[in-house]
Amino acid sequence: MLMNGARIVLEALAREGVDVVFGYPGGANMPIYDQLYDHHIRHILMRHEENAAFAASGYARSTGKVGVCFATSGPGATNLITGLVDAQMDSIPVVAITGQVPRHLIGRDAFQEADVFGITRACTKHNYLVKDIDDLAQAIHEAFHIASTGRPGPVLVDITKDVQNAKLAYHAPGPIHLRGYKVSLEGHAGQIRKAAQMIWEADRPYVYAGGGIVASGASEELRELAEMVEAPVAETLMGLGSLASEHPYCLNMLGMHGSYAANTAISNADLLIALGVRFDDRVTGRLEAFARHAKVLHVDIDPAEIGKNRLADLPIVGDVKHVLRKLNKILEETKATEGAVKADSRRQWMAQIRGWQQQHPLLYTPSETEIKPQTLVQEIDRLSGGEAIVCADVGQHQMWAAQYVRFNHPRLWINSGGLGSMGFGLPAAIGAQMGNPGKTVFALAGDGGFQMSIPELSTLASYGLPVKIVILNNGYLGMVRQWQELFHNRRYSSVELDCFPDAEKLAGAYGMKGRTVAQPRELRPALQEALDEPGPYLLNVKVSPEENVYPIIPSGGAVNEMILFEPQKEAVSS
């Protein structure tokens, strides 16, 4: 059956299992929107293309499926860029489909023309410019294949308007074969055997688990490994929930704002079992000082990650789930023999870590007169019980949430980890809620980031999505202010955010409920009210303005330069 290119796009999407897309129409993608009009694929009209990309990302992060966003040529496509970079940095499978001006106008500075193929080259895993309808279906299916396999990432397909209007029969392509794209899933059997040996020879093994565990769905295998070896597991910002927060071996987050125990342990470990991680500078601080007593066993699906920042003593290129399955099997078979040799040292090691946990737990001074931001995230944690989806924006609140909110499962903690893009939280929550209709979804944002996404209140109201927006409002760009306090002699330059709108009126303007609280006793009832409300809710929480995130390892510092809590602040800033 002959159909136009726009229809072929939707046929291909449907075949890829897409049921919702986030987007914004315009001149160059109108044929696609025309076909969407009576198609079963649901379209969520966002209020800005950047937010369409973030929503697709939130959908992908929370469901594990490919998130899809649409935008028109020129400004529509360029508005997607931040969202694409974000997905690239965090290895999130997103397919962006953009309209391009008709082929005969390309290169003639046509209205709303931009070199989107060129511009997005550096912020996608791969991209396509489709100028011939014969290539269209193949390009879309390849895009999904590339986005979702290997190390996931964003793929953009730019389609000229004449191709959207041209006619062809849709034929699903056969198995996709790309000459330059090979993914090795299994891991080298010999290396995995060596890994098992390395683990049993270690006195102080330490699992450093990252977003790769989430991407490959290896949580169960990670738990088995931790329990078999009786080894501590610290998670990166991207890996939170990969092992349940309350699991006895879970040390929660490591790195710049990680726990004392997680960071002290990594400095004392003699084996780093690095799983789906990239030794990010926010984790390692100064590389020369990072885990300097440890040998490194590094498992990653992307060979370019091996040895990028830290040389691996034993590299294994493969999907961490596949590798762990094999590794766990060998460990199980050898536990009684080889595993017994160092069992006592491993238990002592774990006991030592427990000591560190008790010595320096997360610490703040609660207040009865003002709401401490940590109290707020603890309240969210209490309501969530480790089960809610929490979409964070970027800044102090993100770190506090990462520290205090428990996650019993992967894909509950949604945040812009690598790029750290403000304005991410609310649109990501819209995507997450679309992918998880029955679940409680919090959009936690600072007053800065929230103001970048105010237009999406309209989307929430329009679709009646029951996202609970909680604003941790300290009247500042808090993280920048904190750095100015600690590292720039309290010269608070352009960080004060006055004139925040009245939350009740703002929500009311969109026909939503909302309120502002400032007193500690108001907090619980207000959060409960937000949860009880069947639709969206905007809760603005005024918190202590100058609270800082601790612990903190100053940028480029070493673990022993960690500032644990407020009183030590003076000593360091002088």
**Catalytic residue list:** 49, 111-112, 161, 479
Rounded distance, CA 376 to CA 373, Å?
5
Q: Where does this chain bind another protein (CB under 8 A)?
A: 117-118, 121-122, 125-127, 129, 146, 178-182, 184, 187-188, 191, 302-304, 306-308, 315-318
Radius of gyration, CA atoms only, the chain: 24
| C-beta closer to another protein: residue 127 or 440 | 127
Check: CB of residue 170 under 8 Å from CB of residue 2: no
| C-beta closer to another protein: residue 218 or 323 | 323
| C-beta closer to another protein: residue 122 or 341 | 122
| C-beta closer to another protein: residue 135 or 270 | 135
Is the bond preceding residue 551 a cis peptide, omega within 30 degrees? yes
Cβ burial 29-56 (10 Å sphere, 16+ → b, else e): bbbbbbbbeebeeebbebbbbbbbbbbb
Pairing mode, if any, of strands 389-392 and 441-446?
A: parallel
CB of 181 to another protein, least distance (A): 5
CB of 305 to another protein, least distance (A): 9
CB of 125 to another protein, least distance (A): 7
| C-beta closer to another protein: residue 215 or 470 | 215
Cα dihedral sign for 11, 17, 19, 25?
negative
CB of 182 to another protein, least distance (A): 6
| C-beta closer to another protein: residue 40 or 182 | 182
- Classify residue 489 as exposed, middle or buried by CB count within 10 Å of its CB (0-12, 13-18, 19+): exposed
What six digits make up the tokens of 351? 């006991």
Rounded distance, CA 84 to CA 122, Å?
10
Inter-CA distances, 381 with 23, 39, 205, 226, 550, Å: 32, 40, 30, 24, 18
| C-beta closer to another protein: residue 184 or 197 | 184
Rounded distance, CA 8 to CA 24, Å?
19
CB of 476 to another protein, least distance (A): 34
Cα dihedral sign for 503, 506, 508, 511?
negative
Spatial CB neighbours of 416, under 8 Å, sequence gap ≥ 6:
86, 90, 393, 394, 424, 428
- What phi, psi does 342 have (nearest 5°)? -105, 15
CB of 152 to another protein, least distance (A): 13
CB of 117 to another protein, least distance (A): 6
Inter-CA distances, 392 with 54, 130, 339, 402, Å: 12, 36, 41, 9
CB of 280 to another protein, least distance (A): 15
Pairing mode, if any, of strands 154-160 and 126-130?
A: parallel
Rounded distance, CA 360 to CA 550, Å?
11
**Exposure of 174 in the CB half-sphere (CA atoms within 13 A):** 2
CB of 194 to another protein, least distance (A): 12
Secondary structure (H, E, C), 484-523? HHHHCCCCCCCCECCCCCCHHHHHHHCCCEEEEECCHHHH
Secondary structure (H, E, C), 141-185? HHHHHHHHCCCCCEEEEEEEHHHHHCEEECCCCCCCCCCCCCCCC
| C-beta closer to another protein: residue 116 or 477 | 116
Rounded distance, CA 98 to CA 518, Å?
44
What six digits make up the tokens of 318? 């493969």
CB of 308 to another protein, least distance (A): 6
| C-beta closer to another protein: residue 305 or 447 | 305
Inter-CA distances, 234 with 229, 284, 287, 474, Å: 14, 13, 18, 30
DSSP secondary structure string for all residues of 84-114 = HHHHHHTT--EEEEEEE--GGGTTTT-TT--
Which residue is it, tokens 């909110």? 405
